[in-house]
Amino acid sequence: MAKKKSVIGTIFKPITSVFHYFVVGVTAPFTIFKKKSKKDKLSQQKKELEDEINDLQNKIGDKKKYINNIENEIKDYNKQQLLEKEREYQLKLQAEREKKEKEEQERLKKYQETRNKTVDYINEMNKVDLTHKEEKIKKPKENKKNTKNSIKEIEEEFNELSGDDVLKKQGIASFINNNKNIKEDKKEKKLELASAKKKKSELGNKNTYIYEAKSPEGKNIKGKFEAYSKEDVIAFLTNEGYEVYNVKTSKMINFLYGSSSLNKPKYNKKQLTFLLTQLSTYIKAGIPLIDAMRIFARQEKNVGKKKILQSIVYELVMGEAFSDALAKQGDSFPPLLINMIKTAEMTGELAETLDDMGDYYGSLEKTRKQIVSAMTYPSIVFVMCIGIVTFIMIWVVPQFIDMYADLGSELPLITKIVVAISDFLTNYWYIVFGGLVILILLFYYSFKKIKPFRKLIQTIIMKIPVVGNIIIYSEITTFAKTFASLINHNVFITDSMEILSKITNNEIYKDLIYKTIENLSKGDTISSAFKNHWAFTDIAYEMIVTGERTGELGNMMERVAVFYAEQHENIVSQLKSFIEPVMIAFLAFIVGGLLLAVIVPMFNIYNEIG
């Protein structure tokens, strides 16, 4: 059976293989055709998908273009709207100014007319011949007794006049009535002044109160507050969410904790930038001004500044304007900021003004940091140089002097000079130290209090080539930036000049500004004061002239500020790169000279020994 199976297997094996290959050969073209058709379908689908993607991309691109066109149209429309609003606002301002000017002119005309009529009438009345030939009414004298007598005489003449003299009678009657009205007006004014003084005396000055209360967070606190009365303190603290336990004041409390310019902290430029930017953000978000200041007062951790902010909130609650509330804080806030806020309150652009002033103080802080960074390295090197020289002269040189004295060698000139200086510093160091302290204090006092001395020192420093340019560029930048901000916020030029004179501490530029105010009072231009002045550059002068001629003085001043801010930054960076090698060379010269003075005698001693 096994053999039969093997024989059958051997017979059928080649037949099955042939059949298999036959089937494969017959079906192969069909399978290839199927695969080809699948590939064609896939490629066709791929092409269709790619076409669809391209169509979609084209549609997206068209939509983007459409959206961009709409956005551009919206921007153009917004620009047009803003321009129209600006034009309307400028026209309103111009109309208001013209209206005020007309009213002022009419008022002055009326005043002048009434004054002239009164003067003419009094002159006529003085010339009236009351007795027709014999007597004339004399002009009343300044003395009160003479005035009373003259009025009595006129009344008597009035009674004596007959009915025929109707015109004279009417004139004298009106003259007497005018005198009576003047007296009544004077009495009313006196009564008004007396009542105002009485109210002021009743209100009095602010007192300092010490209070004990529970804060809104539930903490028991003890603090100080300035107000006109105890009731004001209780009402204010209760309104702020405090539970008041006790409020007291006394002369000693006012003496120890009372407000003065000495104990009130000032806001520096960095703090002002943060405060103004945040306050503008709060106002734009719709938060009322009082609530915004309350937020600042709660957030403030410095006790002195917290007291200032609480005082501002108190003034606002009492009905004061924001600018007046800031002005009542003494020197804590700069005059420029107070005046700009006062102008913004009139124009209704408080948030925009706060943003502008935040940027202004931020740029000033940036300039200050540049100067400080430029002067830090040379100051450190200079102090180190003085320390090293003092150490060598007092402790090192005397040891070598003793050694040279024992050897009895001849000392060179440089060594003798160093030895003399060292002896003087060692024996009279207290005189040197005391003299330096007195000189520094005297210089500081003279610079602060004596104007001619301050002007002289500032002039000398500004005449130094590189340092002078730094000061000039910084002053021009500050002047132009502040002036531009004031003009753009519709502050009058005379008021702007007064504010500018308070900002700068440089006497040369103060004199320039005072000269400008004087020229304006004479009807001259602003630029005439700055012409051919050594402390004011020709470019800045020409820009002022151009601004005056074109009526774009604010824009011109902004450009001047930007240009000289860049110039200032460049010259400060150049000074930094220049001053480092100079200070190193200076230090090497001083220390090297001292070392030579100590080492040269050694070589002389070795030569003598040799």
Mean pLDDT by 10 residues, the chain (610 residues): 48 56 55 61 79 81 79 76 73 74 66 55 48 41 46 52 45 49 50 44 67 82 80 78 83 72 75 91 90 88 85 85 88 85 82 88 83 80 83 82 72 82 85 90 91 92 88 89 84 84 87 90 88 90 91 90 88 80 81 80 71
- The span from the CA of 72 to the CA of 8, in Å, is 92
The C-alpha angle with vertex 543 and arms to 539 and 545, in degrees rounded to 5, equals 115
| Residue 314: predicted pLDDT | 85
| Residue 155: predicted pLDDT | 52
| Amino acid residing at 610 | G
Long-range (24+ apart) CB contacts under 8 A made by 218-221 are none
| Residue 135: predicted pLDDT | 44
Report the candidate in 171, 165, 135 with the shortest Cα–Cα distance to residue 153: 135
Contact 343, 487 (CB under 8 A): no
| Residue 441: predicted pLDDT | 93
Contact 248, 210 (CB under 8 A): yes
Contact 226, 210 (CB under 8 A): no
The token pair that represents 146 in the structure block = 């003479």
**Residue 393: exposure state from Cβ atoms within 10 A (0-12, 13-18, ≥19):** buried
Give the orientation angle of helix 451-463 with respect to helix 465-488, to 10 degrees. 110
**Residue 64: exposure state from Cβ atoms within 10 A (0-12, 13-18, ≥19):** exposed
Q: How many CB atoms are located within 10 Å of the residue 332 CB?
A: 19
| Residue 229: predicted pLDDT | 79
What are the residues whose beta carbons fall under 8 Å from the beta carbon of 396, sequence distance 6 or more?
598
Reduced DSSP (H G I as helix, E B as strand, rest coil) percent helix, strand, coil of the chain, to 5? 80, 5, 15
Residue corresponding to tokens 């009058």: 492
Contact 548, 527 (CB under 8 A): yes
| Residue 165: predicted pLDDT | 46
Query: Cα–Cα distances in Å, from 547 out to 215, 487, 526, 538, 544?
Result: 56, 12, 10, 14, 5
Query: Which residues are 208's β-sheet partners?
Result: 226
